[in-house]
Structure 1
């Protein structure tokens, strides 16, 4: 093998490593998040992308266009939102903080 072939193999190896280490886990996380949001039901607790916690009161599926949610944030505050505004579904009995810790490998922010 000459130096040109070795250089080419190194570049191919770096691209494959980048895909396995960075892109694939990111795609899997996006797929999981889309599934969580797609499976939302009335009564589910959600965290919005703006950081608000609320409970899904209605799921409106129009014939065309995005799915709309009615979310109750407590104290009489009820808003409509698109599913794209939902960052994650919060599991029953689980706090957002504990899920964030699990996602970050148990390390809290200081």
Structure 2
């Protein structure tokens, strides 16, 4: 079994690592803090501010991909109008971002124009 442990190391009673052995784990903790923990805390703080500033009439994008206009805001829930006459109740924490005013109307006009173009092309080819 002598080939696993060198005799010189086995005879020595001194610890192999002193303060230099702690430098690497401490450096890893510092790197993780600045690269992972701190940015995540900053994003969470910004999202909390966004959700608390949510008000009636804001146009929002949800984490599920829905775009709509806020019609009512409660403590934990908000009503979202997806289209005229279609309203859903959702958790305020599901808001991904607040869109600029008029973004919902512009996107609907583009979608309707694209649908008309496609229906016109389909009718001509038949």
TM-score if structure 1 supplies the norm length? 0.71
User: Which structure carries more strand by proportion?
Assistant: 1
How does 1:1-110 map onto structure 2 within 5 Å?
A: 3-61=17-75, 67-92=76-101
Unaligned runs of 5+ residues in structure 1 are 62-66, 96-110
Residues paired across the two proteins, number: 89
Runs of at least 4 residues off by over 4 Å = none
> Under a length normalisation based on structure 2, what TM-score does the superposition of the two structures give?
0.62
RMSD of equivalent CA atoms: 2.1
CA–CA separation in structure 1 for the residues paired with 2:26 and 2:86: 53
- Structure 2: how far apart are the matches of 1:16 and 1:47? 35
Q: Distance in 2 between matches of 1:42 and 1:73?
A: 14
Between Structure 1 and Structure 2, the one with more helix by share is: 2
Answer with 1 or 2: which has the greater Rg: 2
